[in-house]
């Protein structure tokens, strides 16, 4: 049986994948996520999702799923803040503004060498809020490991005026509609568990 592996230790991506895949392994990809010079947010997330999947696929006979997400605010890339000060600063930069969140996805079959990759985009308009509100939000939810400094599945939704998306799971970190299609193309349709159990 060829297993499914998620090239991530993100609890959010794990919870999302559990919605469609009954059993899989999570493995840290150990990839440098630093942007390259003049690299666009779209190119960054696509490259990193591919690199993450390929890094894990080198050690696993599996179908490997890699993903990465950033926010694009004009020419500024919003990533995981990692500390409270950066999180508040990122949120204040988005107050009253529109941000595109790009999620790269790569599904790599290490046995055949086949892969599929793409980028899903979600547009979010943030409502105006004060620095005190941003600080209170960060202290409450601690979104330090979330691109853009919010948790859309929690209180973070209160920061928004509008979300435009073809896939509501994309903003959470893993675009399940695109993922399901890529898995289907590689012969691992989540609606048919038999291939998953035999691989």
CATH number at residue 64: 3.90.950.10
Cβ neighbours of residue 91 under 8 Å, at least 6 residues apart?
Answer: 129, 134, 137, 138, 149, 150, 159
Mean pLDDT of the chain: 93
What local confidence, expressed as pLDDT, does residue 61 receive? 86
Which has the closest alpha carbon to 190: 52, 69, 65? Answer: 65
The arithmetic mean of pLDDT across residues 180-187, rounded, is 95
Q: Over the stretch 109-119, which tens digit does the pLDDT of each residue have?
A: 999 999 999 99
| pTM summary value | 0.91
Catalytic residue among 68, 109, 120, 167: 68
Percent with pLDDT over 70 in the chain:
96
What local confidence, expressed as pLDDT, does residue 198 receive? 45
106 pLDDT higher than 60? yes
Handedness of CA 22, 179, 65, 188 (dihedral sign): positive
pLDDT grade for 59, boundaries at 50, 70 and 90: confident
Note the helical H segments in the chain: 11-17, 41-57, 84-94, 131-141, 176-185, 193-198
The residue segments making up the domain with residue 151 are 4-198
Domain total of the chain? 1
Q: Say whether 43 is catalytic.
A: no
Contact 120, 178 (CB under 8 A): yes
Q: What are 34-43's contacts with CB under 8 Å, separation 24+? A: 35/77, 41/70, 41/71, 41/72, 41/77, 41/100, 41/102, 42/72, 42/102, 42/119
What local confidence, expressed as pLDDT, does residue 196 receive? 46
Cβ neighbours of residue 85 under 8 Å, at least 6 residues apart?
Answer: none
What local confidence, expressed as pLDDT, does residue 199 receive? 44
């Amino acid at each position: 049986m060829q297993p499914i592996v998620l090239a991530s230790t993100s609890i959010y991506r794990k919870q999302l994948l559990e919605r469609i895949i009954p059993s899989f392994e999570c493995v840290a990809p150990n990839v440098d996520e630093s942007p390259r010079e003049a690299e666009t947010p779209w190119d960054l997330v696509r490259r990193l999702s591919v690199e993450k999947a390929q890094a894990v696929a080198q050690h696993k006979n599996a179908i490997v799923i890699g993903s990465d997400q950033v926010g694009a605010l004009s020419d500024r890339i919003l990533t995981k803040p990692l500390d409270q000060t950066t999180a508040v600063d990122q949120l204040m930069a988005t107050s009253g503004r529109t941000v595109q969140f790009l999620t790269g996805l790569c599904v790599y079959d290490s046995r055949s060498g086949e892969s599929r990759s793409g980028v899903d985009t979600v547009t979010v308009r943030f409502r105006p809020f004060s620095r005190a509100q941003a600080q209170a939000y960060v202290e409450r939810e601690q979104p330090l490991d979330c691109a853009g400094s919010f948790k859309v599945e929690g209180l973070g939704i209160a920061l928004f005026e509008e979300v435009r998306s073809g896939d509501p799971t994309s903003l959470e970190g893993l675009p399940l509609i695109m993922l399901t299609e890529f898995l289907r193309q590689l012969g691992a349709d989540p609606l048919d568990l038999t291939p998953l159990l035999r691989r």
